[in-house]
């Protein structure tokens, strides 16, 4: 089945194609077959993009999706409160069913706001059934998802190998315990296992020292040969410029979560310094108890926090093509490029909140919001059309998530109305 997306404002994010004030995108067998100002494709199904922006789907490189049921309860929390609440108070009460619902509704929400590719950074793997439930939810949501197994505790190797056998190559990454929760020797063993199993690695670093790896964790990893082009540092706030340059030299990447970093009181987002060091940052949501789940707000905060150091074009690339690069998927997604999978969104360009669209990147970054997301396609398949998700029974899933949340809250003895201070 061929599809012609016709007559939209095409923001390709492919430097060779650029932005077309009025353009078409031809999709054949789930892939982009042509992008141009006027494509003749007799017999193709027509998707009318008049009055719409055609944009590659967003890429979120780090989200703890399992926490979806507690949306908003942590918007006032510091990082220490978040950690105590989610990992100390609530997390242990999660059953596989709760993990499944959090991951499913969280992934669907991301999809609905245009996130076609997402890395689920899963750190509720205290029992194998939880990991299985998280993976099942990602499979049941029709987006492109990478399961990042966040290892915790000793003797993790057999479980990592078990999960690896469940997933195709591009669909798994390894979340490292270090530098916060393991020694450098343990991190070296984790990285060796990841390399043996062909997994990208992702690790959380923020702050300015005091870790088991010492105060210069990226330098320590570089010295042990543990950095490469499959390494993503989440946050990176507080890392010195020379460590950012080491990550860049190794071909690694950084995932900036601007909303959470600013709200939780981290050091300033590293976006501008990362760019100056030769890195191309990607963007991420991190967690939905603390922040909204859409990439529009992540982009807007990234720009506002680094005004002068980054441009709207930079930020739009962070949220699309650079995210795909950070996940090793730049050959398949992140731009409207011939040969890539047809992962794209249609944004309503006639909504009063954005009309009239002059500079598309400026408008999307400065004024975009999830309400504009009219349609979402993943590998050429429509998963949202005319503002409605397809093939998803939202009322039923909502009821199940509410039941899950209330059960966990009761078991943990907490209120979800904002009165709970961890």
C-alpha 10/C-alpha 17 separation (Å) is 9
Q: Toward Zn ion, which CB reaches closer, 190 or 286?
A: 286
Answer whether 118's CB lies under 8 Å from 144's CB. yes
Q: How far is the CB of 150 from Zn ion (least distance, A)?
A: 9
Q: Toward Zn ion, which CB reaches closer, 12 or 255?
A: 255
Q: Toward Zn ion, which CB reaches closer, 286 or 341?
A: 286
Q: Toward Zn ion, which CB reaches closer, 286 or 374?
A: 286
The owner of tokens 């016709």 is 6
Q: Toward Zn ion, which CB reaches closer, 286 or 294?
A: 286
Q: How far is the CB of 286 from Zn ion (least distance, A)?
A: 5
Q: Toward Zn ion, which CB reaches closer, 186 or 286?
A: 286
Answer whether 347's CB lies under 8 Å from 364's CB. yes
Show the tokens assigned to 258.
């601007």
Answer whether 229's CB lies under 8 Å from 251's CB. yes
Q: How far is the CB of 293 from Zn ion (least distance, A)?
A: 14
Show the tokens assigned to 249.
């030299």
User: Measuring CA to CA, which residue among 18, 20, 91 is closest to residue 49?
Assistant: 20
Q: Toward Zn ion, which CB reaches closer, 149 or 377?
A: 149
Answer whether 175's CB lies under 8 Å from 151's CB. yes
Angle at the Cα of 266 (from 264 to 269), degrees rounded to 5?
115
Q: Toward Zn ion, which CB reaches closer, 36 or 268?
A: 268
Show the tokens assigned to 312.
């709207």
User: Measuring CA to CA, which residue among 321, 343, 338 is closest to residue 35?
Assistant: 338
C-alpha 96/C-alpha 201 separation (Å) is 24
Show the tokens assigned to 226.
């543990």
Q: How far is the CB of 314 from Zn ion (least distance, A)?
A: 22
Q: How far is the CB of 71 from Zn ion (least distance, A)?
A: 16
Q: How far is the CB of 62 from Zn ion (least distance, A)?
A: 6
Q: How far is the CB of 4 from Zn ion (least distance, A)?
A: 40
Helix ranges restricted to H, 241-372 = 241-249, 258-263, 271-276, 295-305, 312-318, 321-326, 360-367
State the residues that interact with Zn ion by CB under 5 A.
286
369-396 b/e with 16+ CB inside 10 Å = b?
bbebbbbbbbbbbbbbeeeebeebeeee
Q: How far is the CB of 305 from Zn ion (least distance, A)?
A: 17
Q: Toward Zn ion, which CB reaches closer, 3 or 67?
A: 67
| H helix or E strand, kind and range, residue 149 | strand 144-150
DSSP 228-239: -TTEEEEE-TT-
State the residue number with the nearest CB to Zn ion. Answer: 286
Q: Toward Zn ion, which CB reaches closer, 49 or 285?
A: 285
Q: How far is the CB of 204 from Zn ion (least distance, A)?
A: 5
Q: How far is the CB of 133 from Zn ion (least distance, A)?
A: 20
The sign one gets for the Cα dihedral 69, 387, 350, 322 is positive
Question: CA–CA distance from 46 to each of 4, 43, 361, 387 (Å)?
Answer: 5, 9, 26, 18
Helix ranges restricted to H, 175-233 = 184-197, 217-223
């Amino acid at each position: 089945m061929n599809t012609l997306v016709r007559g939209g404002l095409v923001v390709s994010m492919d430097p060779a194609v650029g932005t077309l004030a009025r353009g078409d995108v031809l999709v054949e067998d789930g892939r982009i077959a042509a992008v141009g100002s006027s494509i003749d494709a007799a017999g193709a199904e027509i998707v009318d993009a008049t009055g719409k922006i055609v944009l590659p789907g967003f890429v979120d490189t780090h989200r703890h999706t399992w926490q979806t049921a507690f949306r908003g309860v942590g918007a006032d929390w510091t990082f220490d409160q978040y950690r105590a609440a989610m990992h100390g108070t609530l997390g242990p009460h999660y059953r596989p069913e709760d993990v499944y619902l959090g991951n499913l509704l969280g992934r669907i929400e991301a999809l609905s706001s245009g996130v076609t590719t997402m890395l689920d950074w899963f750190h509720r793997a205290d029992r194998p059934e939880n990991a299985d439930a998280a993976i099942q939810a990602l499979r049941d949501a029709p987006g492109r998802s990478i399961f990042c197994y966040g290892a915790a505790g000793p003797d993790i190797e057999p479980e990592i190998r078990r999960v690896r056998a469940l997933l195709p190559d591009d669909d798994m990454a390894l979340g490292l315990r270090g530098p916060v929760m393991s020694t450098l020797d343990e991190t070296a063993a984790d990285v060796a296992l990841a390399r043996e199993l062909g997994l990208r690695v992702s690790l959380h670093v923020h702050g300015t020292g005091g870790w088991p790896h010492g105060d210069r964790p990226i330098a320590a990893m570089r010295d042990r040969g543990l950095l490469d082009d499959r390494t993503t540092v989440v946050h990176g706030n507080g890392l010195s410029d020379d460590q950012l340059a080491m990550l860049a030299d190794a071909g690694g990447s950084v995932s900036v979560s601007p909303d959470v970093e600013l709200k939780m009181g981290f050091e300033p987002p590293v976006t501008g310094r990362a760019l100056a060091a030769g890195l191309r940052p990607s963007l991420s949501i991190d967690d939905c108890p603390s922040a909204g789940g859409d990439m529009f707000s992540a982009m807007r905060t990234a720009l506002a926090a680094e005004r002068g150091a980054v441009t709207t074009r930079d930020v739009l690339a962070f949220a699309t093509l650079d995210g795909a690069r950070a996940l090793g998927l730049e050959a398949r997604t992140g731009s409207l490029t011939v040969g890539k999978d047809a992962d794209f969104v249609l944004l309503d360009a006639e909504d009063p909140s954005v009309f009239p669209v002059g500079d598309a990147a400026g408008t999307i970054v400065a004024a975009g919001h999830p309400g504009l997301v009219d349609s979402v396609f993943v590998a050429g398949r429509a998963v949202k059309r005319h503002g409605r998700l397809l093939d998803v029974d939202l009322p039923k899933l909502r009821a199940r998530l509410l039941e899950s949340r209330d059960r966990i809250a009761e078991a943990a003895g907490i209120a979800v109305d904002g009165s709970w201070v961890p």
